[in-house]
Chain A
């Protein structure tokens, strides 16, 4: 020990050379690099996102232009790579444009719910006691209704429209996110390192910022990502019922609804919006799975 103490100044100088060794997030990144499945699904999502954003440049035709002669043309028809819908509109074009609304309605309610529900759950979990009780019991009220029914009820009460659908889905996702955040926070709050942080004289907000959020973020973030796929499906369902988007706007759920009648005439074309929904949800699920294992540094 004493030899180490006398060497301390020398060692310290050497120690200061390393300042930028891998941080937590850079090790997560290197974990992700070694996971081809997650990267593949992330690339699919990225291409879906980009094609939705640059729909104007990518889509071969006008998504609203009908053509009665080309109604329900099968996949591979000349000029209609993925066929045409019941009004003769190009399916490829409408699928590309449809991604805009579908992704918007998939992601934005989850992001909003993550902010609100995360804050509620963090407060409930960290403060505990009566605050926890009142927040979580209110959340439990929402659990009394099945999520689809709740979304339809709120959407129906607010009226049709994209914005109202997003609000209703946000309300649907707040309770589960709050619950996951609360349970993780409660677990972490009881651990010795939080006690040790308190023992060092840190204020609650500092403890939350440094010690709680970094440990809560992983599981909550992964859970929220998996909710995006649910959100896409629910919003498609709302559109299917006429509560979300309205025709002739291209949106996958709505397209599925309108093509439903043509399923015996041209089942392949009618199934395409469903394939897109499936692919997007699957990609979000697989990606969140991959991120979860990458964030779990012990693996």
Chain B
């Protein structure tokens, strides 16, 4: 049992844009552009970032639902899909995913019990044992199997469906659960219930969570560590308390200051960020955030800030020249200041 359960090395995915008469590749969307991170066993890693920054692509790459162009996924010490490592199928048995849209992620023609039992049946569990397991899991996610096991997805509410999705993901007894915006579509009261359910299940089954969300409050609540993405890159990673209280990267700082607060003394005063993220087909040179960064200097266009954070004991790292005294940026002292 190593401390690290999942390690992502130089993961890259460019989506080709086809066009022209011969359907050739005319451009590429740099959805995930060389990211590195590690996930410790038993932790919850939150992944945040604005729309289109590559959060969901990362999740799909981890599940191998889309093939990565380059890089490696190392699950529990074994490279996935490499000789000497483990196969994608074995990895999928140990890592499962809950999708955002609770409705389209359940087959409308199958009773929920059959949807949950599908995974175990695929992996060779006999039908009655799989059904028993499905009923057991329905209880675990707080649904009475006598009432719910034979229902169809359209007969359930959004929160109930998402509970079924969680049960389905747990049916293979995974160690890692990827939650891709799993609670974002639910209304606030149901969201809180499902979050609490997730915390209970995490403790009960000793799960590791990768929690993807655009909701910073939710990520703050559930995560141990947080990873901030911008335009296909990791800009900051670290312990939740460190990143939220002392954001180092200007983008993280902007995100945190844009967080709506219930405290009237903590009002958002200035518009933290203006404009849209640049086009991922032709991202800016050097630092990708420099076009929207208030501290951008010449060095930012020339040199690319690099983030390598594989030591889990390190509390916080950011991909910004201001964090590196030798980078040549004039404001290296700005870092680490309380927001």
Contacts and interface: CB of A to CB of B under 8 A. Distances in A.
Given A8-B140, A201-B119, A193 B106 contact: yes
B196 interface: yes
Given A22-B150, A206-B122, A200 B140 contact: no
Given A1-B200, A18-B146, A200-B172, A12 B132 contact: yes
Interface string A209-227: 0110011000000000000
A12 B143 CA distance: 12
A18 B92 CA distance: 31
Interface string A169-198: 000000000000000000000011101111
Interface in B115-139: 115, 118-119, 122-123, 132, 135-136, 139
A202 interface: yes
Given A5-B204, A199-B63, A214-B107, A11 B119 contact: no
Given A21-B150, A201-B122, A215-B109, A191 B104 contact: yes
A240 to B, nearest CB: 42
Contact of A197 (B88, B118, B142, B144): B118
Contact of B108 (A4, A195, A297): A297
B89 A214 contact: no
A10 B278 CA distance: 57
A199 B139 contact: no
B309 interface: no
A57 interface: no
A215 B132 contact: no
A12 B230 CA distance: 46
A95 to B, nearest CB: 41
B139 A11 contact: yes
A119 B150 CA distance: 30
Given A192-B105, A193-B105, A199 B150 contact: no
B110 A199 contact: no
B324 interface: no
B118 A210 contact: yes
A8 B97 contact: no
Given A193-B115, A214-B110, A11 B96 contact: no
Interface string A1-27: 110110110011011101001111000
B104 A192 contact: yes
B179 to A, nearest CB: 13
Given A11-B146, A15-B139, 7 more contacts: A199-B63, A199-B65, A200-B119, A200-B123, A200-B171, A206-B122, A214-B110
Interface of A: 1-2, 4-5, 7-8, 11-12, 14-16, 18, 21-24, 191-193, 195-203, 206, 210-211, 214-215, 297-298
23 contacts: A1-B196, A8-B139, A11-B146, A12-B139, A15-B139, A15-B145, A16-B135, A21-B149, A192-B99, A192-B100, A195-B60, A195-B65, A196-B99, A196-B165, A199-B96, A200-B96, A200-B123, A201-B93, A202-B122, A210-B107, A214-B110, A297-B109, A298-B154
